[in-house]
């Protein structure tokens, strides 16, 4: 596995990381825990060094899973987790709002360190911007944690340009994590140029469009009540049908390169900037190997031009999220 450095931070990670949310949360009933422990350890053996989790995944159980699986391999991995949600005090699988007050951030850090079974959090993201707390206070709290030796790097997720700049002025931001893929290209206009200017790395989540860009879904694909795609406008039958044009494009390029649509989608992301590190998620070893294979796939200038010109003529149907969730992004 090739490696990449996130911006000017010096934080070196595998060119493709592993998003771990689906191992505990969001995509239907969680799979067998010991199978996921084995998968995580195999990922390290395959060269993956960058693992992404959050306290809200489960909640808590995903961090605990990584803590068990990666403890014997701690010196070979970079673990990223997140703060910023106010979780259900009754322990239910719900968050009840945002909370990035400095005291809360420090409480979350202590709890995450214990669940992850580590002495220091490699990358600590604010999960969503909290409009009730100045971003300078958030950055200051993480700066305190870095100075205390409990966190190494500061990250933001789904933050807008001005928020990034204000945070970076207090504590250098190592990485921004936001959704980015061939069917979610919002970051290209303002975010990517800002990150390049400031020397901040970019970690696209859902780089395979929550599974859509694998080419395995059609308008007849259904999602159970515990699968959060069941509430997403982009996963209605009509939207799935309309957006198949993007899959047709990926399929054409994949056939030429003897690759899969998912590998083309990931290779396209890697080709955008050398400081972009996507974090596809999976619960299957075959998919892990498929995704990792994208790091060795070279798209030529002609390939990229064909993707760009064709994609420009495709209108993506359906919003990313229901309106209430969409309002929490890009602040």
Give me the pLDDT at residue 93, please. 53
| pLDDT for the residue numbered 300 | 97
* 313 assigned to some structural domain: yes
For residue 280, being part of any structural domain is answered with yes
| Inside any domain, residue 293 | yes
Q: What is the CA radius of gyration of the chain?
A: 19
Confidence grade of residue 66 (pLDDT, cut at 50, 70, 90): very high
Is 179 within 8 Å of 206 (Cβ atoms)?
A: yes
Q: Give the start-end residues of each E strand in 162-252.
A: 173-179, 201-205
Backbone angles phi, psi at 211, to 5 degrees: 100, -20
321 assigned to active site = no
Domain count, the chain: 1
In a domain, 281, yes or no: yes
Tens digits of per-residue pLDDT, 32-53? 999 999 999 999 999 999 999 9
| Residue 227's pLDDT band (cuts 50, 70, 90) | confident
pTM for the full predicted model: 0.95
Catalytic residue among 57, 60, 180, 205: 57
Please indicate, yes or no, if residue 277 is contained in any of the structural domains.
Answer: yes
Asked whether residue 331 is domain-assigned, the answer is: no
pLDDT of residue 30: 85
Domain CATH for 307: 3.20.20.100
User: What is the rounded distance in angstroms from the CA atom of residue 64 to the CA atom of residue 112?
Assistant: 9
**What confidence category does residue 326 fall into, taking pLDDT thresholds of 50, 70 and 90?**
confident
The residue-averaged pLDDT of 87-109 equals 84
Distance of alpha carbon 73 from alpha carbon 87, whole angstroms: 30
**Which residues are CB-neighbours of 210 under 8 A, at least 6 positions away?**
229, 232, 235
At 201-219, the pLDDT tens digits run 999 999 999 999 999 988 9
Whether 279 is covered by a domain: the verdict is: yes
Q: 228 is in which domain, residue-wise?
A: 3-326
Question: How sure is the predictor about 158, in pLDDT bands with cuts at 50, 70 and 90?
Answer: very high
């Amino acid at each position: 596995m090739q490696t990449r450095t996130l911006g000017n931070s010096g934080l070196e990670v595998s060119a493709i990381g592993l998003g771990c949310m689906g191992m505990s949360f969001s995509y239907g009933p969680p799979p067998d825990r010991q199978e996921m422990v084995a998968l995580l350890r195999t990922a390290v053996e395959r060269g993956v060094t960058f693992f992404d989790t959050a306290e809200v995944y489960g909640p808590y159980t995903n961090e605990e899973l990584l803590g068990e699986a990666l403890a014997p391999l701690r010196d070979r991995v970079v673990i990223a987790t997140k703060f910023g949600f106010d979780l259900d005090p009754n322990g239910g699988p719900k968050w009840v709002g945002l909370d990035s007050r400095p005291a809360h951030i420090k409480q979350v850090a202590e709890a995450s360190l214990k669940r992850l079974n580590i002495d220091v959090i490699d990358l600590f993201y604010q999960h969503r911007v909290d409009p009730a707390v100045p971003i300078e206070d958030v950055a200051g709290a993480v700066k305190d944690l870095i100075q205390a030796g409990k966190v190494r790097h500061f990250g933001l997720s789904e933050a807008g340009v001005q928020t990034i700049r204000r945070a970076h002025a207090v504590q250098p931001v190592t990485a921004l994590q936001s959704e980015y893929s061939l069917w979610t290209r919002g970051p290209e206009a303002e975010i990517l140029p800002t990150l390049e200017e400031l020397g901040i790395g970019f970690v696209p989540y859902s780089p395979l469009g929550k599974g859509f860009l694998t080419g395995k879904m059609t308008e007849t694909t259904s999602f159970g009540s515990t699968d959060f795609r069941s509430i997403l406008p982009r996963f209605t039958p009509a939207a799935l049908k309309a957006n198949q044009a993007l899959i047709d494009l990926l399929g054409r390029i994949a056939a030429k390169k003897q690759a899969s649509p998912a590998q083309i989608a990931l290779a396209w992301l890697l080709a955008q900037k050398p400081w972009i590190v996507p974090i596809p998620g999976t619960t299957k070893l075959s998919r892990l190997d498929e995704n990792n294979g994208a790091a060795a796939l070279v798209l030529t200038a002609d390939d990229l031009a064909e993707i760009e010109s064709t994609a420009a003529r495709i209108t993506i149907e359906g919003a990313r999220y229901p309106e209430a969730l969409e309002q929490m992004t890009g602040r």
